[in-house]
């Protein structure tokens, strides 16, 4: 009988995609393993995980709302109920190991599993540890990290440097530029910017690009623009017919490999999962860290690349004035582009999913 593994967390693609990558690696190494995901009701993992072929159970849990304190009144009750449900899930599923990838559901599940004597592993994606993982650190057995200096947050003896798991199919871009151009309906001969605001889109990036379209047209540059479902209709109406020869607008990119392959330069937020993919892709990158994340961790993620001359960074506040101009300048600066490409490619870790999966199976008592 295969080992039973429970994986908890989610909330954003930055947590969900690494979780699925770890699960896929576990199945490659131990095909008879049984996996159960635990997420937060109403969050995107409840859709994405079943689509990847795995069972998921939802907890009625939320994070702290820093903008509206009264909305936190039900939080203690939801936390108590989530811990109770997590305890029942652990009793019923009887996991050999529990894995937490961050997100609302990760805290109650890992806390409960550790209390019940289940070996536990945390996968911390960011260069600045989240509050849930910091609180869980002394209760778990292993903490897999993607940045140096994480012993300022976690017990040194528990840390294992693994890098962040990536979607392998998303970074497989070799010899795909012409295929990408055909399927995306763009020219393979023109300089191309890829703008990706993450799975939900990014308001600042969208507004900056809308304002800067005339500059792109003047420079004869084309744009692959992943804007998010929330913004798609309004942007499509704003763009109209005027820019159709220069802009490929889409709510969500289902084939990131083609978008990466077609791009000469990439504009993105600085989520840890995004950065891990960008390192594997090895294109020049302009990062615009989101200010709307806990502990401003995206700025710290971006700074880790800047310190190694591996990316350009424009702050969210300065983006309206600087983003388009700096991107075009970098696009036409061959020497700086090549420097950034070489340095970011050197940071790529392609097998993080399997390294973490092996450690998960080791904790579960399996030799691989």
Non-local CB neighbours of 176 within 8 Å, separated by 6+ positions: 257, 258, 261, 262
Q: What is d(CA 184, CA 255) in angstroms, rounded to the nearest whole number?
A: 10
Yes or no: say if 147 and 276 are a contact pair by the CB < 8 Å rule: no
Does the annotation place 82 within a ligand binding site?
no
Residues contacting 56, CB < 8 A, separation 6+: 36, 37, 38, 39, 45, 46, 49, 50
Q: For residue 12, say whether it is annotated as part of any ligand binding site.
A: yes
174 is in an annotated binding site: no
Does 13 count as an annotated binding residue?
Answer: yes
The torsion angles phi and psi of 56, rounded to 5 degrees, stand at: -140, 145
Sheet containing 97-100, strands listed edge to edge, beginning at the edge strand earlier in sequence: 56-59, 34-40, 4-8, 97-100, 120-124, 142-145, 159-161
Q: Is 14 annotated as a binding residue?
A: yes
Q: Is 126 labeled as ligand-binding?
A: yes
199 marked as binding residue:
yes
271 Cα distance to chain centroid = 5
Which tokens belong to 252? Answer: 């969500």
Tell me the β-bridge partners of 16: none
- Going from the C-alpha of 112 to that of each of 29, 118, 367, the distances in angstroms are 27, 9, 26
Q: Annotated binding site, which residues? A: 12-14, 126, 167, 199, 298
Q: Annotated binding site for UDP-N-acetyl-alpha-D-glucosamine, which residues? A: 12-14, 126, 167, 199, 298
């Amino acid at each position: 009988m295969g080992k039973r593994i429970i994986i908890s967390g989610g909330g954003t693609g930055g947590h969900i995609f690494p979780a699925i990558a770890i699960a896929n690696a576990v199945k490659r190494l131990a095909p008879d393993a049984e996996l159960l995901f635990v997420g937060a009701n109403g969050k995107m993992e409840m859709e994405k995980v079943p689509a990847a072929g795995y069972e998921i159970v939802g907890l009625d849990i939320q994070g702290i709302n820093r903008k509206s304190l009264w909305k936190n009144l039900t939080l203690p009750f939801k936390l108590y109920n989530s811990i109770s449900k997590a305890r029942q899930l652990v009793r019923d599923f009887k996991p050999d190991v529990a894995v937490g990838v961050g997100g609302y559901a990760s805290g109650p599940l890992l806390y409960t599993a550790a209390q019940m004597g289940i070996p536990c592993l945390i996968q911390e994606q960011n260069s600045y540890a989240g509050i849930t993982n910091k609180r869980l650190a002394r209760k778990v057995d292993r903490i897999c990290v993607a940045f140096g200096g994480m012993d300022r947050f976690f017990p040194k003896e528990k840390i294992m440097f693994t890098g962040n798991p990536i979607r392998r199919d998303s970074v497989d871009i070799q010899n795909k530029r012409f295929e990408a151009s055909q399927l995306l309906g763009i020219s393979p001969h023109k300089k191309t910017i890829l703008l990706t605001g993450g799975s939900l889109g990014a308001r600042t990036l969208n507004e900056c690009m809308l304002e800067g379209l005339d500059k792109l047209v003047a420079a004869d540059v084309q744009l692959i623009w992943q804007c998010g479902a929330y913004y798609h209709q309004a942007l499509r109406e704003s763009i109209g017919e005027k820019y159709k020869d220069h802009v490929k607008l889409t709510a969500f990119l289902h084939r990131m490999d083609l978008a990466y392959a077609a791009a000469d330069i990439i504009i993105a937020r600085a989520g840890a999962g995004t950065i891990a993919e960008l390192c594997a892709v090895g294109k020049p990158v302009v990062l615009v860290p989101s200010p709307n994340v806990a502990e401003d961790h995206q700025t710290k993620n971006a700074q880790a690349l800047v310190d190694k001359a591996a990316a350009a960074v424009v702050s969210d506040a300065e983006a309206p004035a600087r983003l388009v101009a700096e991107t075009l300048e970098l696009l036409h600066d061959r020497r700086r582009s090549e420097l950034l490409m070489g340095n970011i490619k050197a940071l790529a870790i392609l097998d993080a999913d399997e390294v973490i999966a092996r450690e998960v199976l080791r904790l579960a008592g399996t030799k691989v």
